[in-house]
Amino acid sequence: MDNFARPERAASTARSIDRRTLLRAGAWAAPVVAVAVASPAASASDTPVQAAAGVAVAPQVRLYGDHGIAVDSARFQYDYAAWNLQDEASGPTAVMMTFRVVVKNAAGVIVATLVPQETASIAKYQDVERKGQVAGLPAGTYTVVSEIISNVFSPNPTGGRFFSSPATSTSVEVTIAATPPAKPVLSNNNWDNNGTFTVTANLWSGVNASGWELTENGITVGSGALTPNTPQAQAVAVNITGRPLGSYTYVMKFTNLDGTTSSDPMVVNVTV
């Protein structure tokens, strides 16, 4: 039997992406091959030892919506050449690959799933691609991990031996900065100066809020929830009725996971 050299493989690495880089340039993570080496005992008549034939390519990630992460491309490949076979027809023609893409916090705990675990049949030299997103994560640094949990090859390699390539993974770091809502701007329609009018708060662009509170002379007169969709505009309108003669100062507070931002005070005078 001919002697076959084991192919050299690039080591798994992690990329780090901060918020500025993602927002400024899109900053796609360059594909990185995550490698493990399978080393089953082999007799002279068996298939040569191979590098991991299941490859997880570094996911392409970006910040998404309100405190979210999106993976626009997570690819999993069957690298048939890793078998290092002289006779190509003698190797497994397909792999049943089980994989997933998860988000881990700084402690290494899974806090979200971008691509749920699934098993797919992948033919030699082919790959599968998946996408996903998650929102509502607190500020912090996270690791997006493309994981190959197992590879089962079909048919079994020459010699009847069963191969299940080691789990491989590759990861990218993403930082979600602490970002309170943008500042709301108040307006009103009290053109006739009577005691019935509408106070409107507009957030024209920027980081969105998930809740609001309107105060009148320091007392809450309305509150509620908002649906974040950063960086789209948000607006809240509150009807005020029956105010007697006097001066009223309004402040709108917009809140999200990272804090509260208040509008400038707005004074409304009721003179009629």
Task: Indicate if 190 and 262 belong to the same structural domain.
Answer: yes
Give the ranges where the chain is alpha helix by DSSP (H).
19-25
Output the pTM of the full model: 0.64
Residue 175 carries which side chain, given as an amino acid letter?
T
For residue 223, pLDDT over 80 is answered with: yes
Task: Indicate if 193 and 160 belong to the same structural domain.
Answer: no
Domain finish residue from 158, 176, 194? 176
Tell me the β-bridge partners of 95: 122, 153
Task: Indicate if 53 and 144 belong to the same structural domain.
Answer: yes
Residue 8 inside a domain? The answer is: no
pLDDT in tens, 15-53: 444 433 333 323 333 333 332 223 332 222 233 334 567
Task: Indicate if 169 and 38 belong to the same structural domain.
Answer: yes
Domain finish residue from 145, 176, 207? 176
Task: Indicate if 70 and 89 belong to the same structural domain.
Answer: yes
Collapsing DSSP to helix, strand or coil, 206 comes out as coil
Taking alpha carbons only, the member of 200, 203, 213, 211 closest to residue 268 is: 200
Instruction: Quote the pLDDT of residue 168.
Output: 60
Residue 231 inside a domain? The answer is: yes
Task: Indicate if 83 and 217 belong to the same structural domain.
Answer: no
Residue 36 inside a domain? The answer is: yes
Q: How many CA atoms lie within 13 A of 12 on its CB side?
A: 20
CATH number at residue 105: 2.60.40.10
Of the listed ranges 69-73, 86-90, 216-220, the least confidently predicted one is 86-90
Length of the chain: 272
As a whole-number percent, the residues of the chain with pLDDT over 90 amount to 56
Residue ranges making up the domain that contains 117: 14-176
